[in-house]
Structure 1
Amino acid sequence: MCGISAIFSKNNFRSDEFIAMTDVIRHRGPDDEGYATVSATGKISFFAGKDTPAACRSASQKKKYPYLPDARLTANSLSTAKKGEGQIIAALGHRRLSIVDTSPAGHQPMTFDNRLAIVYNGEVYNHIELRNELEARGRRFVSHSDTEVILQAYDEWGIACLSKFNGMFAFVIYDLRNDHVFAARDRFGVKPLYYYSSGDALAFASEIKQFTVLEGWQSKLNRRRGYDFLVYGIHEHTDETFFENVFQFSPGSFFYGKREALLGNNPRIDTSKWYIFPAEKKFRGSFNDAAAQFHELLKDSVRLRLRADVPVGSCLSGGMDSSAIVCVMNELLKEQGAHALQKTFSACAKEKAFDEREFIEVVVKHTGVKGHYIYPQLKDLFRISDKILWHQDQPYGSTSIFAQWNVFALAHKHRVKVMLDGQGADEQLGGYASYFMPWLASLVRSFRWLKLAQEAKALHQIHGVNMGRLSWFAANTLLPMPVRSYLKKHLRGVKLAPDWLHMERLGFDAYDLPRQLGITTSRSIRDLSLSQLTGSNLQMLLHYEDRDSMAHSVESRVPFLDYRLVEHVYSLPDDYKIYNGRTKFVLREGLKNVLPEKIYSRNSKLGFATPEEIWVRQDAPYEFRKRLKVAVETSDGLIDPSIQELLEQQISGRASFSFLIWRILSFSDWLRIFSAQI
């Protein structure tokens, strides 16, 4: 995993800006640094940076790998083209976190046959199988890196190569043969890819902060995305970002076209989807078949994600998802005869209600791994909150991101460079409480009354779901949409334009974003799962995961998002996912002989949580009051002072605790850190 930069321009551009653009993400790749430029005549030049290893600059290595640097990139390197070469029209920059083929052969930017140049972030886990396939077609390789596999796969199959990749990736390829640019992002958006146009130039980046060093940059809030976050706590559901005129490639999208198509007055480029979720695919087989296939697919996914030339560890929250990853990983390592002690990393809490150490230790004992623990402290939260925000590039929804930050800091401390994590399982398997109502709705619509009664009773007994709420929802499901919308608005007290937010300052009318995304209109587990996998929840979690892990130069891998596993789970009937009130049923049964009994039968869920509610109400109400007052005063009239009364109600217990206060604090700090104008 790494960080990338790329600029395509009508004119020469400043090398000091390009160096700064790549240097600002040194945390993503402290092991190596490289640059390549392309002139109008097609001349490719390679440059080193201050972090380029000496081995990458030796004459003997240069003979073997022509893409290794010739000289150090300086402030004047790109300002004037060499005589007869024409102006510089493209520049590629790379920061490398060496994971696979850590030798100079894996250096980037990499070229193939002096015709293709690439910068790439991520991992293509099936690169060995693809290499074998390409070698069978007569191709030869000079490295063992997956980067070279991507280049040769593109040269062999064109843009159709994307469907062959199993992994997480974001890359930019410049094809000198036809002056085309090929940029793409993986199926579910595990790895980020942003772009920003200044008219005369278009820049690609792994993180938005890279654009802030460019001449003419202005930080301006995208007001609609600010509204989405403040009111609903939702972001990453569109190609727009919190910054006006900064865009991201949507999951499973690509651009392929002439370089000149990137250079115009339109700030948004014309991307296309290369991965269309196979929503119509249906599983044919018994539940036992589905559970056995789930186990095998997850096991193979973990096997592929163990491929690394550096130590691999795992996050362990004590929940079913991370426990499954640790147990399957342990199963594989034992089969392979691995003798190195497996390491796990966990965030715990001193407050019992927020602590999962008892479940974590069950998994640690069951597998014999070496567990490492950290207790995120309130005294550190505000001390490093600005740093977390800077790395995140945007406000974040709760202090659970702070807990996750601590876990990756702990992994870095113990020199573990790759971590496996359980992101993506809840969105596939109905793991959230929000799936209960769509599940019941599907039973109502299919007139399965006995099953409806059984499931409603089980959800009440196991999860404490209110029976009155279940009855209201069941009746509501049968009503026409206009009637449901009226009841939601007038009987449930939902406000699209809350009193604490001055909508006139935003300049548009409020809207029902959850309904637009299909979150509140989902009529089955499949409906909500598709919404969360492709347009809301998952992309937020992946954003947090990427920034928290890369801030500590750690690569995070997510086995549950192997596309083969996702497509298998999505093809299953809803009652394979929730059955007799038990969530993730196919996972439980598929891994019944792998998971400890206490994890297999567990129904509660926390994740890497913090005691935020206790911090607000008991430990530091003064600190939250002070910071909220500042947030109101510095919001340029956007946040109304009445929000302070809501905080008082939460502190006293007169109002239920919510993450709204933290969202406002985080939003305010983000405006300050990035000097963003509303």
Structure 2
Amino acid sequence: MCGIVGLVQSRSIDISHVVGMAELISHRGPDDEGYVVFPERGPVCLSGDDTAAFDGMNSLPYQPTVHQRDWLGNAQASFVALGHRRLSIVDLSPFGHQPMSYMDRYWIVYNGEVYNYIELREELQQSGYIFRSGTDTEVLLAGYDKWGVELFDRCNGMWSMVLYDRKAKKLLLARDRFGIKPLYYLVGAGGDSLAFASEIKAFAALSTWHREIAAQPAFDFLAWGLQDHGEETLFKGVFQIPPGHYAVVQLDASGRLDETLETKLKSIRWYDLSSRISGVSLEFKDAAQHLRELLFDAVRLRMRADVPLGSCLSGGLDSSSIVCLVRALLCSIGSVQPQRTFSSCSEFSSIDERDFISEVTRGTNIQETHVFPTGEELFDRIDELVWTQDEPFGSGSIFAQWCIFRAVHEQDVVVMLDGQGADEHLAGYHGFIGARLSGLLRKGNLSEFGAEFRSVRALHGYGPQKFLQYFLANLMPSSIRPLGALGGMTQMRRDWIDVQALGALDRDPMVALGARAKSVRDLSLAQLGGANLQMLLHWEDRNSMAHSIESRVPFLDYRLVEYVLSLPDAFKLERGLTKRVLREAMHGLVPEKILTRHDKKGFLTAEEYWMKGKQARQVSERIDEAINLSRGIIKPAMREVFSNVLAGRAPFSYHVWRVICFGAWLKKFQIRL
């Protein structure tokens, strides 16, 4: 797991810009540092202060020969420069140094892991390819030589990469199927330069970057809590390569960018999840058994590492399944090493899940670590957290996750397995209930609709208004705001945003994303594609990498996702019971108390308690600060929103937190309005 940066221009590159970008994301790769430039006489590999020692090794074609300080002001023009910060996970030796080359033609900077690299390497060796290292990076280079972009479809893993083909004079920017690893880019004002990086903050090293707000993404965040639901970011002019896409930048014979680039690159889809879905004609128990087998293999592959490994454990079904699967796999190889788990806990019993966590860990060879995030530290660190995340974020749960990864780092664990991604395709969110009900009604299946309706009321205790909220959101999206207004729902208010001052449209972005879905499967596609998962992956990537930790998500093994989406909706959600097929698949592995949980707490923190208690004054001050910094975008009406929540006249609203975080972001990144 690493951080990647680079520049391609129509004029010669100042290497200090690339080094500066890399330094701003050095937390992503503390183990090694490297750069490569391409003057006319051939590639020159540069080292930095953190470059690993190559003592006693035979010379490598990608081994640094010059320190980057000594290249400053060099008269040899280079129009392409790549930079890399390495977190060593597989083959910890300097053989894994990047930028890496292959056949004196291909150069790569790569962030991620391809878990089936061993199988791919064996296949390539049978075709005559030779490997120096034991890394997945070298397998990618050889695989690209053999298969071109069809390589991606053979890879099981997570990645963002930039590959430079010196012979074809083209630069390839690519991202994994589900966007687990990030890749941002920024086209210069005249279209004569392209910068790319793993994190947006890296562009702060470029004096030409003017940090301005992107209006529509800002509205979607403030009003709807949405981020990462498209190529745009909250920074005007900063885009990301979409999940499952790649882009190609063609250079001239001298390796120079000779075309004027558009602000947004043309990206090419290489992976389309909807086209991979086919009907699965299995009985429910057989389907659950196959899911169990797939999940076992997904976890097995993601345990491949040459560094210590642990797991996140919330007490929910997803993380508990991962922990129990790891335990079974360790037992199968006779491992006696304690299994490591890390959990966020709370002093408030209504959101604390230690009873469920202990169900998983009791009587096992598990070494537990519990962290207790506090409101005091959250507000002390909010500016730091915004810098870590690059953009404002939706709730204090991101802080809790940050605390977990800090504890992981303090205990020298480097790779973590997490349950992220399961809810989106296994119908884990209660919002799927509305999609299930509307799907049944659209099909005219009234008897099944009635049975589902009664079961949901009995199982979850939903009253009429809750039903209407979930149901009408899918069947008649335009009805949501009137319903919210009648019910006094704080989250439906818009009077605290000046949409005109922001320059955005007051719209429901969920409609365009397909999140007002007609079926459970359709909602899963929307959730995976941009309505939810991309935000979660963004937060997890930044929190883990801020502490130099690689986080792996077995539930997003593409074989597993494609299989689950091919199952009937009722296998995932029926009679109000979410994740039916996973519950069945985990019988005998996961404790029954976890399997029979019907509540959905998510990854909670105590924002409501903090905002109404010790941190009320700080919340009020932060709201005032956001109003002032936003120059009219956030109206003084937000003070009333918070006052109503504080006085109990309105339910708790995450809008309050978003405004606070938005203000912190404007200040920390010095956004121009």
Contact 1:9 1:263 in 2 (8 A): no
- Residue of structure 2 equivalent to 1:350: 347
- Residue of structure 2 equivalent to 1:310: 307
- How much has 1:175 moved relative to structure 2? 0.3
Q: How far apart in 2 are the matches of 1:153 and 1:596? A: 42
Q: How far apart in 1 are the matches of 2:430 and 2:330? A: 34
Q: How far apart in 2 are the matches of 1:340 and 1:465? A: 45
- Residue of structure 1 equivalent to 2:463: 466
- How much has 1:197 moved relative to structure 2? 1.2
Equivalent residue for 2:102, pick from 101, 105, 112:
112
- How much has 1:451 moved relative to structure 2? 2.2
Equivalent residue for 1:182, pick from 155, 172, 188:
172
Equivalent residue for 1:525, pick from 508, 513, 520:
520
What's the CA shift string for 1:515-551, capped at 9, x where partnerless? 221222x111111110000122000000000000000
- How much has 1:259 moved relative to structure 2? 2.7
Amino acid at match of 1:373: H
Say which SS state the counterpart of residue 370 (structure 2) adopts: strand
- Residue of structure 1 equivalent to 2:326: 329
Contact 2:608 2:652 in 1 (8 A): yes
Matched, 1:151 2:141: yes
- Residue of structure 2 equivalent to 1:278: 274
Matched, 1:100 2:90: yes
- Residue of structure 2 equivalent to 1:25: 25
Q: How far apart in 2 are the matches of 1:209 and 1:373? A: 31
CA 1:62/1:48 → structure 2, altered by over 3 Å: closer, same or farther? Answer: farther
- How much has 1:230 moved relative to structure 2? 0.3
Say which SS state the counterpart of residue 574 (structure 2) adopts: coil
Structure 2 alignment gaps of length 5 or more:
none
Matched, 1:361 2:355: no
- How much has 1:445 moved relative to structure 2? 2.1
Equivalent residue runs for 1:251-650 within 5 Å: 251-259=243-251, 263-279=259-275, 280-365=277-362, 367-467=364-464, 469-470=466-467, 484=476, 487-493=479-485, 498-520=494-516, 522-650=517-645
- How much has 1:311 moved relative to structure 2? 0.5
Equivalent residue for 2:216, pick from 216, 220, 224:
224
Q: How far apart in 1 are the matches of 2:156 and 2:622? A: 45
Contact 1:344 1:369 in 2 (8 A): yes
Say which SS state the counterpart of residue 273 (structure 2) adopts: coil
- Residue of structure 2 equivalent to 1:49: 48
Contact 1:120 1:172 in 2 (8 A): yes
Say which SS state the counterpart of residue 535 (structure 1) adopts: helix
Contact 1:202 1:262 in 2 (8 A): no
Contact 1:42 1:176 in 2 (8 A): no
- Residue of structure 2 equivalent to 1:204: 196
Paired residue total: 662
- Residue of structure 2 equivalent to 1:13: 13
- How much has 1:367 moved relative to structure 2? 3.9
CA 1:543/1:475 → structure 2, altered by over 3 Å: closer, same or farther? Answer: closer
CA 1:487/1:138 → structure 2, altered by over 3 Å: closer, same or farther? Answer: closer
- How much has 1:475 moved relative to structure 2? 8.3
Amino acid at match of 2:568: P
Equivalent residue for 1:91, pick from 59, 81, 99:
81
TM-score under structure 2 normalisation? 0.95
Contact 1:196 1:246 in 2 (8 A): yes
Q: How far apart in 2 are the matches of 1:307 and 1:387? A: 32
Q: How far apart in 2 are the matches of 1:656 and 1:497? A: 12
Matched, 1:170 2:160: yes
Matched, 1:242 2:238: no
CA 1:50/1:485 → structure 2, altered by over 3 Å: closer, same or farther? Answer: closer
- How much has 1:368 moved relative to structure 2? 2.9
Equivalent residue for 1:79, pick from 54, 73, 78:
73
Say which SS state the counterpart of residue 353 (structure 1) adopts: coil
Structure 1 alignment gaps of length 5 or more:
479-483
Q: How far apart in 1 are the matches of 2:404 and 2:283? A: 39
Amino acid at match of 2:501: R
Say which SS state the counterpart of residue 656 (structure 2) adopts: helix
Q: How well do the aligned residues superpose, as a CA RMSD in angstroms? A: 1.8
- How much has 1:103 moved relative to structure 2? 0.4
What is the percentage of aligned positions where both structures have the same residue? 43
Equivalent residue runs for 1:106-145 within 5 Å: 106-145=96-135
Say which SS state the counterpart of residue 61 (structure 1) adopts: coil
Say which SS state the counterpart of residue 216 (structure 1) adopts: coil
What's the CA shift string for 1:431-462, capped at 9, x where partnerless? 11111111011121223323222221221122
Amino acid at match of 1:250: P
Q: How far apart in 1 are the matches of 2:483 and 2:133? A: 64
- How much has 1:565 moved relative to structure 2? 0.1
Say which SS state the counterpart of residue 93 (structure 1) adopts: strand
Once the two structures are overlaid, the 10-residue window that deviates more, 599-608 or 314-323, is 599-608
Q: How far apart in 2 are the matches of 1:157 and 1:615? A: 54
Once the two structures are overlaid, the 10-residue window that deviates more, 460-469 or 163-172, is 460-469
Q: How far apart in 1 are the matches of 2:546 and 2:387? A: 10
Q: How far apart in 2 are the matches of 1:488 and 1:581? A: 22
Once the two structures are overlaid, the 10-residue window that deviates more, 27-36 or 192-201, is 192-201
Contact 2:430 2:600 in 1 (8 A): no
Q: How far apart in 2 are the matches of 1:289 and 1:400? A: 36
Amino acid at match of 1:50: D
CA 1:568/1:319 → structure 2, altered by over 3 Å: closer, same or farther? Answer: same
CA 1:119/1:263 → structure 2, altered by over 3 Å: closer, same or farther? Answer: farther
Once the two structures are overlaid, the 10-residue window that deviates more, 285-294 or 497-506, is 497-506
Q: How far apart in 1 are the matches of 2:187 and 2:493? A: 33
Contact 2:109 2:163 in 1 (8 A): yes
Contact 1:428 1:566 in 2 (8 A): yes
Q: How far apart in 2 are the matches of 1:385 and 1:492? A: 30
Contact 1:348 1:608 in 2 (8 A): no
Contact 1:101 1:309 in 2 (8 A): yes
Q: How far apart in 2 are the matches of 1:485 and 1:217? A: 39
Q: How far apart in 2 are the matches of 1:632 and 1:499? A: 13
Q: How far apart in 2 are the matches of 1:406 and 1:287? A: 39
Q: How far apart in 2 are the matches of 1:342 and 1:11? A: 53
Contact 1:7 1:204 in 2 (8 A): yes
Q: How far apart in 2 are the matches of 1:310 and 1:276? A: 33
Q: How far apart in 1 are the matches of 2:126 and 2:44? A: 32
Say which SS state the counterpart of residue 163 (structure 2) adopts: strand
- How much has 1:308 moved relative to structure 2? 0.2
- Residue of structure 2 equivalent to 1:481: none
CA 1:639/1:450 → structure 2, altered by over 3 Å: closer, same or farther? Answer: same
Q: How far apart in 2 are the matches of 1:205 and 1:450? A: 54
- How much has 1:508 moved relative to structure 2? 3.8
Contact 2:192 2:260 in 1 (8 A): yes
Matched, 1:654 2:646: no
